[in-house]
Amino acid sequence: MDSHHMPTSSADDTSHIPPPTRGFRHKTVAGLLAAVLGWAGAHWWYLGRRHGWIVLLFSLIMIGTALRSEAWYFHPAFFLFLVPAVAGFIEAIVLCLTSDAKFDARYNAGQARQSRTGWGPVLVAGITLAVGTAILMLGIVLLFQSLFEGIPA
């Protein structure tokens, strides 16, 4: 049997791995996009997830509907807009605190480059936790105020 017909082990054979068709994804960038533009699904676009446009469309409809009201911050659509915004904060924290190996396996499969993130994602997660908590608490306060006091005229 000649050498080019010898069976190879599956661990050595990398011919089944398709070449990467997209650029390397950074955890810090994904976390920042989720924290700042999570309401628009920007991190979904960056990470190559499908249906990122649904988040953007939902958010634009909700905020557009709320802004048509004089007291937009008491409008039910504003509170629905807060759902993808808070989800973006949560996803930013999850993305930033995911191990490099797990992040690379999911979003950088087939890439020769490996993540070595350091403190960037940790700082993004910490700041996101503080800002996201404040915005969530503000939303809860406004919700309860509108429920118990009614929408101001």
Give tens-digit pLDDT for 16-31: 444 445 788 999 999 9
Domain that holds residue 53: 25-108+116-149
**Structural domain includes residue 36:** yes
In a domain, 120, yes or no: yes
Residue 101 domain flag: yes
92, 124 Cβ separation under 8 angstroms: yes
> What does the pLDDT look like over 71-122, one tens digit per residue?
888 899 999 999 999 999 999 999 999 998 899 899 988 877 877 888 989 9
pTM as predicted: 0.77
In a domain, 20, yes or no: no
| 14, part of any domain | no
Count up the domains in the chain and report the number: 1
Q: How many whole angstroms separate alpha carbon 75 and alpha carbon 146?
A: 9
In a domain, 6, yes or no: no
CA 42-124-44 angle, to 5 degrees, is: 20
Structure confidence at residue 15 (pLDDT): 45
Distances (CA, A) of 99 to 7, 22, 44, 56: 35, 21, 19, 28
Residue 18 domain-assigned (yes or no): no
User: Residue 36: pLDDT above 80?
Assistant: yes
Which parts of 2-119 fold into alpha helices (H)? 27-37, 42-47, 52-67, 76-97, 100-107
| Separation between Cα atoms, residue 41 and residue 113, nearest integer Å | 26
13 assigned to some structural domain: no
Q: How far apart, in whole angstroms, are the C-alpha atoms of residue 63 and residue 6?
A: 63
